[in-house]
Amino acid sequence: MRGAISLALAGGLTATARPAAFAAAAQTIDVRGLVPALAFAATDAQSGKTVTAAAFRGKIVLLYLGYTNCPDVCPLTLHNIALILHRLGKDRADVRVLFVTVDPNRDSLAVLRRYTALFAPEIIGLRLGPNQLARLARRYRLAYSVSPATASHPYEVLHSSAVYVFDRTGAARLLIPSLASATPDLPGTTADLERLLHGSSAGLLGRLTRHF
């Protein structure tokens, strides 16, 4: 059970969060001011180099914890994210999806890179060492555990369903409890991301210029 972190995640957040000002979709939760800004240092599966949150300033960032030996919920989640990116059209260029492996012992950079490429080019595989991973998960109250196989028990991985959304400044804005659903709220979630993409921080000029 190395690296096990239990979580009180959204339980506490949802009760208080969701200011009326942000008409979040039914399946998303406004976490502005409740969750720390995006911060991490990880190995980018694509380049093999260390990358930090600073590299994603100016982009809307989705953060999801998973692992590649995950044939059911991870593909379902990543596929739904791919559908949301598709709905965003040209705006998808301003979105990055960070797929952080909770199983770094088994997930090589090469496998991680090939796995994320199956879904969308905006999905970036990230690998962190055990301590950094634990720190990241604690920071965002995300749960994961990896239990290597024993004589009586198969290799088991547990991970949060949640997807966090950060705005262009790196501030945490939304929590999507789960996209591992056959009936996800794609229009609502897309609309929420569009709000962040074209939000007040961009200003009218920014919004206008984006259309030309």
Partner 1 sequence: MTHRFLRAGLKTIASVSGLERAQGSCFGRHLSRPADALICRRRLRREGFPRRFGFAGLALGLGLGLAPGLAPGAPNVAWAGAAPAGAPAGVQVQTPWFRYLLASIPAGGYMTLENNGAGPAVLTGAQSPGCGMLMMHRTETVGGTDRMVRVEKVNIPAHGKLRFAPGGYHLMCMEPKMHPGQAVPVTLHFADGSRITVRFIVRGANGTPEAPGAAKD
| Interface ranges with partner 1 (CB under 8 A) | 7, 9-12, 14-15, 68-73, 75-76, 78-79, 82-83, 85-86, 111, 114-115, 118-120, 143, 154, 156-162, 177-178, 180-183
- Considering beta carbons, is residue 73 or 202 the nearer one to partner 1? 73
Distance, in Å, from the CA atom of 60 to the CA atom of 14, rounded to the nearest integer, reads 22
Q: For residues 116 and 168, which CB has a smaller minimum distance to partner 1 in the complex?
A: 116
| Minimum gap (Å) between residue 39 Cβ and partner 1 | 22
Amino acid at 180: A
Nearest distance from C-beta of residue 178 to partner 1, angstroms? 6
Q: Which helix (H) or strand (E) holds 106?
A: none
| Residue (46 or 69) nearer to partner 1, CB | 69
CA dihedral 31, 33, 34, 40 (to 10 degrees): 90
* Backbone φ, ψ for residue 17 (5° rounding): -75, 175
Q: Give the list of residues 6+ apart from residue 140 with CB closer than 8 angstroms, or none.
A: 35, 36, 63, 164, 172
CB closer to partner 1 out of 121 and 206: 121
CB atoms within 10 A of CB 68: 21
Smallest gap from Cβ 92 to partner 1, in A, equals 10
Query: Taking the complex as a whole, how short is the minimal distance between the CB of residue 36 and partner 1, in angstroms?
Result: 18
